[in-house]
């Protein structure tokens, strides 16, 4: 199985999380929140062949860490995946939205100029702005909208722009989340947990092994057998992983 949005470095015991996931053969995209965090997180994960550490700059800290864009640009050649990046116009962060826009626009431009990368993108309360920036950089690479929480019309627009969608157990706890999942193209669905930020109703952080039960949970929602869902998710992951970074001079 796969977990394409997980903050491995922020768990209390990253090694235990990785060992459990490795036991079940789970592929993980270990996202980072700042460029400075990449090296340390990569050091934690590099011994696990099914784990990739992505290069990120979380929109919620963009106003504090925008000076790390230069480091982001220097490190981009080291990675195949970028994330967590994006925009957040929720109540606590909208006061910094202008600098978020500047940072996200710059990052996507860097990604495009570096041959494109698979990107895991945060879009809370800011889907139109995220999609506009992606549209302005058509060669930036496949965009995964993680834990999508926009409106149905916004989802339709994202689908039209050929976005991917990573969904996790937390989305299944709300009626809106379930309705959005039903609308998402089956061949663009991926699994995530967003652990340790996302937690169960008991307050326990989700971790990659929790993706193992998602096919069964999704079966009545998608009206498909769990075996078919698992097969399709893995095929989607293979399709996404086949993305080739362009030579910057092409």
**The domain that contains 43 carries what CATH number?**
3.20.20.140
**What pLDDT shows up at residue 232?**
99
The residue range of the domain holding 72 is 2-241
Signed CA dihedral, 65, 69, 75, 76: sign only = positive
- Residue 246: pLDDT band by 50, 70, 90 thresholds? confident
Torsion of CA 42, 24, 207, 156, to 10 degrees: 90
Tens of pLDDT along 138-161? 999 999 999 999 999 999 999 999
Check whether 248 has a pLDDT greater than 70.
no
CA neighbours closer than 13 Å in the CB half-sphere of residue 129: 20
pLDDT at 250 over 70: no
Whether 246 is in a domain gets the answer no
Domain annotation covers residue 232: yes
pLDDT at 103 over 50: yes
Tell me what pLDDT residue 238 has: 98
Whether 82 is in a domain gets the answer: yes
- Say what the pLDDT of residue 247 is: 72
Answer whether residue 129 is part of any domain.
yes
pLDDT at 16: 98
Report which of 147, 212, 206 is spatially closest to residue 180, judged by C-alpha positions.
Answer: 147
The reply to whether 250 falls in a domain is no
Question: Rounded to whole angstroms, how far apart are CA atoms 237 and 250?
Answer: 26
- As given in the structure block, the two tokens for residue 155 are 């989802």
Per residue in 43-94, pLDDT tens?
A: 999 999 999 999 999 999 999 999 999 999 999 999 999 999 999 999 999 9
Whether residue 19 is contained in a domain is answered as yes
- Residue 249 covered by a domain: no
The count of domains in the chain is: 1
> Does the model's pTM come out above 0.95?
yes
pLDDT tens digits, 202-225:
999 999 999 999 999 999 999 999
**Cα–Cα distance measured from residue 66 to residue 68, given in angstroms and rounded to the nearest whole number:** 5
Instruction: Confirm whether 90 is domain-assigned.
Output: yes
CA 31 from chain centre, in angstroms, equals 7
Q: How far are the Cα atoms of 53, 180, 192 from residue 209, in angstroms, in the given order?
A: 18, 23, 10
């Amino acid at each position: 199985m796969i977990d394409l949005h997980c903050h491995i470095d922020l768990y209390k015991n990253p090694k235990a999380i990785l060992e459990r996931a490795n036991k079940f053969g789970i592929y993980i995209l270990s996202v980072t929140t700042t460029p400075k965090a990449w090296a340390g997180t990569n050091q934690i994960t590099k011994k696990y062949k099914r784990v990739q550490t992505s290069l990120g700059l979380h929109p919620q800290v963009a106003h504090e860490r925008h000076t790390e864009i230069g480091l982001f640009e220097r490190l981009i050649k080291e990675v195949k995946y970028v994330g967590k990046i994006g925009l957040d116009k929720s109540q606590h962060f909208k006061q910094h939205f202008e600098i978020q826009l500047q940072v996200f626009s710059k990052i996507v431009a860097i990604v495009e100029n570096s041959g494109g990368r698979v990107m895991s993108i945060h879009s809370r309360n800011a889907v139109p702005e995220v999609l506009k920036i992606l549209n302005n950089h058509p060669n930036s690479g496949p965009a995964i909208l993680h834990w999508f929480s926009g409106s149905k019309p916004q989802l339709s627009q994202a689908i039209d722009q050929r976005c991917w969608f990573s969904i996790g157990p937390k989305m299944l706890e709300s009626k809106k989340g379930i309705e959005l999942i039903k609308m998402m193209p089956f061949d663009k669905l991926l699994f995530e947990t967003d652990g340790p930020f996302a937690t169960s109703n008991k307050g326990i952080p989700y971790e990659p092994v929790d993706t193992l039960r998602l096919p069964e949970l999704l079966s009545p929602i998608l009206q498909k057998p769990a075996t078919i869902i698992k097969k399709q998710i893995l095929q989607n992951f293979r399709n996404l992983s086949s993305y080739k970074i362009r030579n910057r001079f092409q």
